[in-house]
Amino acid sequence: MIIIGGGIAGLMAALAAAPAPVVLLNPVAPGEGAASVWSQGGLAAAVGADDSPALHIRDTLKAGAGLCAPQMVAEIIAAGPGLVDTMLGYGVRFDTDGSGRLALGLEAAHSRPRILHANGDQTGAEIMRALIAAVRRTPSIRFLPAQARHICVSGGAVAGVLATQGDEVLRLPARQVLLATGGIGALFRDSTNPPGAVGFGLMLAAAAGARLKDLEFIQFHPTALAANTPSLPLISEAVRGEGAVLIDEHGDAFLNGGDLAPRDTVARAVFAHQTAGHQVFLDARRIGARFATRFPAISEICAKAGINPQNQPIPVRPAAHYHMGGVAVDASGQSSVPGLFAAGEVACTGLHGANRLASNSLLEAAVCGAVAGRAMAALPVGNASTLPEMALPPEPNAAAIRGIMSEHLGVLRTPAGLQRAVAQLQALAPGNPAAELGLRIAQAALARKTSVGAHAVQGTAALHQAA
Ligand code: SIN
């Protein structure tokens, strides 16, 4: 069994599959270059005294704007409280309140405070620390530093992976392969994702013939730090959960109290205000001296940019943050190609619909990673087949399409812009898997004629408006 990727979904799958032997295939050590490590806000789970899975399900369905898969939502959310126990068992140190209970934060469109966090705003890093330690203690998991380049399919089912290690091509037979490769943010100029998040897993899945779903739904986070770096540092929604508000250069709180509306709504409002010529800032001054202890990583990010959030508003702009679409999978994480599984951001389980509820992604990655790991381990290993000698596919060139993606597939799309994107990407697609993926995204966006959730097309009526 091969797991491609070194973030939360991949590590949870490897641990859940134990003692079945697993090869963890990633070009760099687990955790390095993984978006999971950057996750600030936290992990949503209905563990509060005034909370319940039913309320969490309701909030998730509402944010998803009518396009969630209700059964998947129910299963994943119901697994949340148990997942928290599992994580505590792995040694994850979530923040607690003064009386030793788990501290729960509030984020946009959650009706209850239910976001578990660690070291204030370093939740992903703390979860990864504990999972990496658990993986190191598990002898059935072998790390192979190599780059997956092709999923081999034989007789309609997965037969293995071709990977490269330097100049050497590795032929790795396997009947079960999990894609846990993260998202696509780095296909855009402004992104909160690591630079390597160019949709590599989607390219592998597409080439293997797997069905992809909901590709047009890309979530833009409204408050990335307005900087000039390749990845924009995130200013977590949890900062608004603690009382910060969005203002413009005149100090006007232009959202009129709607700062914790669903993320798509806030991103569009920020985008519209900026398009109208305003500058936008996150004003966290009312949090006061507590900012530094509640948000140590964000404090450091701001300090590096020369900003003190205790007395200065933080300049922000929207950035590509999360892909709701992905490899279509069933409840066990299996794609339309037998033996090919996907978990985490690369997968489309139906949990997020048209707009992901904040902090549901770590929950999904961990729950679905573990489900997929167990499902793969339960399948027969089968006989290893010899993988074909074949030329490797071309390397993706994301830089070639970033301008097109950013101009035409951003926060607000237009029918003419989508048509232009399709034409431009069609011309670039031969020989560039990143352009092929971009083309599929643009075609999906063009095909969806109404605005819904994160897919907003100027001049089209919103079918299901996230409340
Ligand atoms: C954030 O901390 O604002 C991001 C959390 C998430 O994307 O779920």
- Is the distance from CB of 312 to CB of 274 less than 8 angstroms? no
- Looking at residue 137, what is its pLDDT? 97
CA–centroid distance, 128 to ligand 1, in Å, is: 16
- Looking at residue 276, what is its pLDDT? 97
The Cβ-side half-sphere exposure at 445, using a 13 Å CA radius, reads 32
Ligand 1: does its nearest atom lie under 6 Å from the Cβ of 238? yes
- Is the distance from CB of 282 to CB of 201 less than 8 angstroms? no
Q: Which of left, alpha, beta for 364 (phi over 0: left; psi -120 to 50: alpha)?
A: alpha
Whether pLDDT at 104 is above 90: yes
- Is the distance from CB of 369 to CB of 180 less than 8 angstroms? yes
Domains of the chain: 2-185+324-378 (3.50.50.60), 218-320 (3.90.700.10), 394-467 (1.20.58.100)
Q: Residue holding tokens 């010899």?
A: 386
One-letter-per-residue 3-state SS of 177-210: EEECCCCCHHHCCCECCCCCCCCHHHHHHHHCCC
Strands 212-213 and 157-165: unpaired
Residues whose CB falls within 8 Å of the CB of residue 388, separated by 6 or more in sequence, listed in order: 152
- Is the distance from CB of 127 to CB of 116 less than 8 angstroms? no
Whether pLDDT at 47 is above 90: yes
385 or 258, which is more confident? 258
Whether pLDDT at 416 is above 90: yes
- Looking at residue 467, what is its pLDDT? 37
- Looking at residue 461, what is its pLDDT? 65
Q: What residues are paired with 26 via a beta bridge?
A: 145
Residues annotated as catalytic (active site), given as ranges = 263
Q: What is the percentage of the chain residues whose pLDDT exceeds 70? A: 98
Counting ligand 1 atoms within 8 A of each CB, the residue from 359, 360, 361, 362 with the most, and so the one to mutate, is: 359
pLDDT tens digits, 49-87: 999 999 999 999 999 999 999 999 999 999 999 999 999
pLDDT tens digits, 281-293: 999 999 999 999 9
| pTM score of the predicted model | 0.96
Strands 340-342 and 147-154: unpaired
Whose CA is closest to 207, among 53, 361, 390?
A: 390
Give the number of the atom of ligand 1 that is nearest the alpha carbon of residue 107. 3
Lowest mean pLDDT among 105-119, 299-313, 435-449, 450-464: 450-464
Ligand 1: does its nearest atom lie under 6 Å from the Cβ of 453? no
CA–centroid distance, 322 to ligand 1, in Å, is: 9
Which structure tokens are listed for 110? 């959650």
- Looking at residue 466, what is its pLDDT? 42
Q: What is the DSSP letter of 28?
A: S
Ligand 1: does its nearest atom lie under 6 Å from the Cβ of 349? no
The residue whose CA is least distant from atom 8 of ligand 1 is 359
pLDDT tens digits, 119-137: 999 999 999 999 999 999 9
Number of helices (H) and strands (E) in the chain: give both, helices first.
Answer: 15, 20
Whether pLDDT at 463 is above 80: no
CA–centroid distance, 358 to ligand 1, in Å, is: 5
How confident is the prediction for the chain on average, in pLDDT? 95
Q: Which of left, alpha, beta for 156 (phi over 0: left; psi -120 to 50: alpha)?
A: left
- Is the distance from CB of 185 to CB of 197 less than 8 angstroms? yes
Give the number of the atom of ligand 1 that is nearest the alpha carbon of residue 361. 8
Ligand 1: does its nearest atom lie under 6 Å from the Cβ of 41? yes
Whether pLDDT at 233 is above 70: yes
Q: Residue holding tokens 């949870």?
A: 12
Which structure tokens are listed for 150? 């092709």
